[in-house]
Amino acid sequence: MPRSVKTAVFPVAGLGTRFLPATKSVPKEIMTLVDKPLVQYAIDEARAAGIEEFIFVTSRGKSALEDYFDQAPQLEQSLEAKGKTELLDVLRKTNMESGAIAYIRQTQALGLGHAVWCARRLIGDRPFAVILPDDVIAADTPCLQQMVEAYQETGGNMVATMEVPADKASAYGIVDIAEDMGSIVSVKGMVEKPSQEEAPSNLAVIGRYILTPKVLTNLEEGKRGAGGEIQLTDAIAQEITDSDNVYGFRFAGQRFDCGSKAGFLQATVSFALSRPDLAPELQDFLQELSFASKAAE
């Protein structure tokens, strides 16, 4: 029997302070990479992995995000009347089936672990995925789909991982590797935001997870971890002790940290360069820029 994962949680209740003043009125997840909001990349990735139920953990000021998933009949009619079939197709791809999306509020930003815990009643007693929309991953096979495939072998809890330079470890959750089997590693420990000296490896957790409902029980205790926040990493690490069923997955693809300005800009350029309708003009512009900066040196 295949191990199925049909539900995904999208925690989007953070304040997005690194993008102020934009995030004063625009949720970070609605900001666009080329012409699609971050959240659309996350939904597309989830769908490719077979997800059918989408749970958004939101907060005050995120109504633009909820509206984004409403159908837009007037816009559709107008595009239809003008024969703009390509745009109509683009628009229709963003439509969600009625009842597929649920929103739940995190009333206080107590951390990622707490945000996921807020969705516990909607998740129920099934394995579930977690996707952080500000981690955008360019990959031939979408990252969560790669994970669902690997999860058929492992079951348990799986976190997406990537190698990071030693001096960047303190920005991530870092795994302690028990056995390295290539793309899958079994994990014997996890530390959230360790100092460079304390980091047990250079394998960092990024924003894709497949989790057992037991992690929600662990979050119940509401223990504060790094930065005084209720950390998802700590609740997963508890499963190493209790069930020894935590795995890291080295995905194939490039991850962009779109929660940071530099990462967002890099993703914008990279995604635009992969688009045939935009690449030639952008390439010319980047070349001109680089000539101009060399000439100025």
Footprint on this chain of ligand UTP (rule: CB under 6 A): 11-18, 28, 57, 106, 109-112, 114-115, 132, 134, 259
What residue has token string 């976190």?
A: 159
For ligand UTP, the closer CB: 19 or 249: 19
The count of residues in the chain is: 297
Q: Shortest distance, CB of residue 84 to ligand UTP, whole angstroms?
A: 33
For ligand UTP, the closer CB: 173 or 259: 259
Residue nearest to ligand UTP according to CB distances in the complex: 14
Which string of DSSP letters, residue by residue, matches 76-140? Answer: HHHHHHTT-HHHHHHHHTT---TTSEEEEE-SS---HHHHHHTTHHHH-SS-EEEE-TTEEEE-S
Contact 205, 172 (CB under 8 A): yes
For ligand UTP, the closer CB: 46 or 115: 115
Contact 216, 125 (CB under 8 A): no
What residue has token string 């967002």?
A: 264
Q: Shortest distance, CB of residue 213 to ligand UTP, whole angstroms?
A: 19
Q: Shortest distance, CB of residue 68 to ligand UTP, whole angstroms?
A: 15
For ligand UTP, the closer CB: 58 or 186: 58
Residue 128 to residue 240: CA distance in whole angstroms: 18
For ligand UTP, the closer CB: 164 or 184: 164
Q: Shortest distance, CB of residue 96 to ligand UTP, whole angstroms?
A: 19
For ligand UTP, the closer CB: 10 or 151: 10
| First-last CA distance in the chain | 63
Q: Shortest distance, CB of residue 20 to ligand UTP, whole angstroms?
A: 8
Q: Shortest distance, CB of residue 151 to ligand UTP, whole angstroms?
A: 22
Contact 251, 150 (CB under 8 A): no
